[in-house]
């Protein structure tokens, strides 16, 4: 982008020099062929300058669009990772509860006291652990799917742009 801006600066300087040369030339005293050539060169440079300005505008618009898309993808990824993290925390809590309940159940069985409510509590903790595990799997799948979708969209857009070029 800076290269285009440098070209634009140089073209503008050349246009200024040409315009100054035309104004400084004695009216009617110069060679008409040379004046026509200078006018044509000035017009050519103006056209080239306009084309470069349009190209810079198009490149800036494309850059802004890509930045917006990137920001949207960042937000989506951040949201997916946040959800995944909360699901992982729930899984860890459920697994810790399951370990605690199983330890209490082992101690009750070792003491010879079979406590039905401990067995129930252990089964409930195991079910909660399975649900949390399933939620984590779902969150991971969603995160992976969103990343793959973004990658596929990006690849398709790049392919389309290459075909247009």
In the prediction, which pLDDT does 61 show?
92
Per-residue confidence of the chain (165 residues) as pLDDT tens digits? 677 778 788 888 888 887 777 666 655 556 778 878 888 888 888 888 889 889 989 999 999 998 998 898 888 888 888 888 888 888 888 888 878 877 887 787 778 776 777 777 777 888 888 888 888 888 888 888 888 888 888 888 877 877 776
In the prediction, which pLDDT does 70 show?
85
Q: Which residues of 25-58 are buried (b: 16+ CB within 10 A; e: fewer)?
A: eeeeeeeeeeeeebeeebeebeeebeebeeeeee
In the prediction, which pLDDT does 28 show?
53
The answer to whether the predicted template modeling score (pTM) of the entire model surpasses 0.75 is no
In the prediction, which pLDDT does 25 show?
60
Show me where the domains of the chain are located: 2-164
In the prediction, which pLDDT does 64 show?
92
């Amino acid at each position: 982008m800076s290269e285009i801006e440098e070209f634009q600066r140089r073209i503008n300087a050349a246009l200024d020099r040409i315009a100054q040369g035309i104004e400084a030339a004695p009216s009617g005293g110069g060679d008409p062929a040379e004046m026509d050539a200078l006018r044509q060169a000035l017009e050519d440079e103006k056209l080239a300058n306009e084309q470069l300005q349009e190209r810079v505008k198009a490149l800036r618009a494309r850059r802004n669009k890509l930045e917006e898309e990137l920001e949207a993808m960042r937000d989506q990824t951040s949201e997916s990772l946040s959800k995944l993290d909360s699901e992982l925390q729930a899984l860890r809590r459920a697994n810790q509860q399951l370990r605690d309940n199983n330890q209490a159940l082992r101690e009750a069985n070792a003491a010879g006291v079979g406590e039905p409510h401990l067995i129930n509590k252990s089964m409930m903790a195991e079910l909660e652990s399975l649900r949390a595990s399933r939620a984590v799997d779902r969150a991971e799948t969603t995160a992976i799917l969103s990343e793959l979708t973004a990658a596929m969209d990006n690849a398709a857009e790049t392919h389309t742009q290459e075909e247009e070029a």
